[in-house]
């Protein structure tokens, strides 16, 4: 991808050079997903010398082909009343969108035990409150990053439309809508079934109604991350692909350097933005990082002739659709199946089948690009952002669950203010790694 051409031998400080270099303001960000790139942006803005490394390509992880919603309307955590039952039922249903594959791993048991304990109304609201503070902060940052096409990313501020097929679906969603409106001031415009096809002619007649969250937005995730990265490279941020963190070299309560597949790198600060892989660092960092990979799928095809204008979610069939300038994406599923890399054709077919009851288009398959990504899930649905308890100069920025795109700018800002010691725009306590 875009950054493979970097001459890594020149960019990485090898041991002998490093001794002569002053690393005081040098930050290494491990992980070039949306969270790593956002962190690099705000650190660069504060004057740090930033290098981002990734074991694969920049943007090649979960940030690659997700739905691209910037969606405060999604702040209600996955740990909500009734989710345990949904998980248990899924064991018997191979087509369940939320699915737990039985695995005999202690970490997984512990994760689900903690998750199950939080599936209650009070903790759901508490969690959503913290996520909303980040989503609001991010929203302002998106405006300044993207409005006026400073960064090309197919940024659209036309909301997110939750469309229901049945009256029962409309009534069930009303509970969610009331919570969002009463607790978080997230008001939706309700469009009755009879007006839906006028509202968006790509919808089939006969649907029951929809809730439009006008404050949500969307973008093309890969275009965003690549253009943002290029912009950072022009400002002096070094981006090194195919460079895997292998080992950390530590003394007392500090990390001195990391060994990577491309050599040793020294720095004053280390930001671990390693997404779903983050739990692999727990032993090295001597802390709990309860992040489980949760697989989701998307499929991208050429834009159909009759295409929705607004990004939409169909909660009854648990699928989301995002129209882009030249393509159209369907995304869904939450599979807790470890680091499973398979993309079963049945799952991709299910994406089309789930969207068809809502769309006039027959969704002809042209230039089909199936994809999976591992969402980095924490059992309390909150990201983990903050200094690692044992190592003063190590900071985690991970665990963004289903909202990594939405929360990225706020996360990057928080990472930069935690490292620079400047005041934070949001309260960092709820996100601290110390909570585990």
Ligand X SMILES: Cc1cc2nc3c(=O)[nH]c(=O)nc-3n(C[C@H](O)[C@H](O)[C@H](O)COP(=O)(O)OP(=O)(O)OC[C@H]3O[C@@H](n4cnc5c(N)ncnc54)[C@H](O)[C@@H]3O)c2cc1C
Contacts with ligand X, residue ranges (CB under 6 A): 30-36, 53-56, 60-63, 66-69, 71, 244-245, 273-277, 296-298, 331, 373, 375-376, 398, 400, 402-406
Residue 435 beta carbon to ligand X: minimum distance, rounded to whole angstroms: 18
Q: How far apart are CA 7 and CA 13, in angstroms?
A: 12
Residue 333 beta carbon to ligand X: minimum distance, rounded to whole angstroms: 7
Element (H, E) at 288: none
Spell out the alpha helix ranges (H) of 78-201: 83-90, 106-117, 121-146, 167-184, 196-199
Residue 31 beta carbon to ligand X: minimum distance, rounded to whole angstroms: 3
Tell me whether residue 53 or residue 207 sits nearer to ligand X (CB atom).
Answer: 53
Tell me whether residue 263 or residue 376 sits nearer to ligand X (CB atom).
Answer: 376
Tell me whether residue 199 or residue 371 sits nearer to ligand X (CB atom).
Answer: 371
Residue 369 beta carbon to ligand X: minimum distance, rounded to whole angstroms: 13
Task: Provide CB contacts within 8 A for 436, sequence distance 6+.
Answer: 287, 288, 289, 290, 384
Tell me whether residue 410 or residue 417 sits nearer to ligand X (CB atom).
Answer: 410
Q: How far apart are CA 327 and CA 338, in angstroms?
A: 30
Locate tokens 């469009």: which residue? 191
Q: How far apart are CA 27 and CA 267, in angstroms?
A: 6
Tell me whether residue 289 or residue 405 sits nearer to ligand X (CB atom).
Answer: 405
Task: Provide CB contacts within 8 A for 93, sequence distance 6+.
Answer: 99
Q: What angle do CA 270, 413, 130 make, to 5 degrees?
A: 105
Residue 249 beta carbon to ligand X: minimum distance, rounded to whole angstroms: 15
Q: How far apart are CA 255 and CA 286, in angstroms?
A: 12
The DSSP bridge partners found for residue 28 are 51, 270
Q: What is the DSSP letter of 163?
A: E
**Looking at the chain, how many residues does it have?**
436
* Residue among 162, 72, 51 at smallest CA distance from 409: 72
* Residue among 18, 63, 58 at smallest CA distance from 243: 58
Residue 227 beta carbon to ligand X: minimum distance, rounded to whole angstroms: 16
Tell me whether residue 35 or residue 395 sits nearer to ligand X (CB atom).
Answer: 35
Strand order in the sheet with 254-260: 245-251, 254-260, 263-266
Tell me whether residue 87 or residue 373 sits nearer to ligand X (CB atom).
Answer: 373
Q: How far is CA 41 from CA 37, 149, 244, 417, in A?
A: 6, 17, 21, 12
Q: Are 175 and 183 in contact (CB under 8 A)?
A: no
Q: How far apart are CA 413 and CA 427, in angstroms?
A: 12
Residue 200 beta carbon to ligand X: minimum distance, rounded to whole angstroms: 19
Residue 313 beta carbon to ligand X: minimum distance, rounded to whole angstroms: 9
Distance of CA 288 to the CA centre of its chain: 20
Tell me whether residue 78 or residue 191 sits nearer to ligand X (CB atom).
Answer: 78
Tell me whether residue 208 or residue 264 sits nearer to ligand X (CB atom).
Answer: 264
Residue 253 zone, left/alpha/beta (φ > 0; ψ -120 to 50; rest): alpha
Tell me whether residue 298 or residue 393 sits nearer to ligand X (CB atom).
Answer: 298
Residue 421 beta carbon to ligand X: minimum distance, rounded to whole angstroms: 24
Tell me whether residue 132 or residue 400 sits nearer to ligand X (CB atom).
Answer: 400
Q: Are 410 and 425 in contact (CB under 8 A)?
A: yes
Residue 370 beta carbon to ligand X: minimum distance, rounded to whole angstroms: 11
Residue 47 beta carbon to ligand X: minimum distance, rounded to whole angstroms: 23
User: Quick one: angle between helices 404-420 and 34-45, nearest 10?
Assistant: 40
Residue 126 beta carbon to ligand X: minimum distance, rounded to whole angstroms: 20
Tell me whether residue 18 or residue 321 sits nearer to ligand X (CB atom).
Answer: 321
């Amino acid at each position: 991808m875009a950054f493979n051409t970097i001459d890594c031998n020149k960019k990485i400080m090898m041991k002998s050079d490093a001794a002569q270099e002053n690393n005081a303001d040098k930050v290494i960000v491990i992980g070039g997903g949306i969270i790593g790139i956002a962190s690099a942006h705000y650190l660069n803005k504060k004057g740090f010398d930033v290098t981002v490394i990734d074991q694969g390509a920049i943007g090649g992880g979960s940030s690659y082909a997700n739905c691209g919603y910037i969606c405060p309307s999604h702040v209600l955590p996955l740990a909500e009343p009734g989710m345990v039952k949904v998980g248990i039922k899924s064991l018997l249903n191979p087509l369940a969108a939320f699915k737990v594959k039985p695995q005999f791993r202690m970490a997984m048991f512990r994760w689900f035990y903690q998750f199950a304990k939080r599936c209650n109304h009070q903790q759901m609201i508490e969690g959503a409150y913290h996520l909303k503070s980040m989503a609001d902060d991010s929203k302002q940052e998106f405006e300044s990053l993207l409005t006026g096409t400073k960064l090309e990313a197919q940024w659209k501020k036309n909301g997110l439309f939750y469309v229901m097929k049945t009256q029962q679906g409309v009534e069930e969603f009303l509970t969610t809508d009331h919570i969002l409106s009463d607790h978080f001031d997230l008001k939706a415009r309700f469009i009755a079934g009879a007006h839906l096809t006028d509202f968006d002619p790509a919808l089939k007649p006969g649907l029951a109604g929809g809730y439009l969250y006008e404050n949500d937005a969307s973008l093309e995730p890969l275009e965003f991350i690549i253009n943002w990265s290029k912009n950072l490279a022009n400002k002096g941020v070094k981006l090194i692909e195919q460079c895997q963190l292998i080992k950390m070299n530590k003394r007392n309560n500090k990390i001195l350097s990391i060994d990577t597949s491309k050599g040793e790198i020294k720095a004053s600060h280390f930001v671990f933005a390693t997404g779903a892989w983050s739990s692999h660092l727990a032993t090295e960092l001597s802390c709990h990082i309860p992040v489980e990979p949760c697989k989701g799928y998307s499929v991208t095809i050429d834009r159909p002739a009759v295409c929705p204008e607004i990004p939409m979610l169909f909660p009854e069939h648990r699928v989301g659709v995002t129209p882009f300038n030249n393509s159209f994406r369907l995304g869904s599923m939450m599979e807790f199946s470890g680091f499973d890399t398979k993309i079963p054709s049945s799952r991709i077919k299910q994406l089309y089948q789930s969207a068809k009851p809502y769309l006039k288009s027959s969704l002809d398959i042209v230039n089909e690009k199936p994809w999976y990504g591992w969402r980095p899930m924490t059992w309390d649905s909150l990201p983990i952002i903050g200094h690692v308890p044992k190592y003063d100069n190590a900071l985690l920025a991970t665990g963004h669950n289903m909202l990594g795109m939405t929360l990225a700018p706020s996360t990057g800002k928080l990472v930069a203010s935690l490292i620079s010691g400047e005041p934070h725009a949001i309260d960092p306590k709820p996100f601290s790694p110390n909570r585990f």
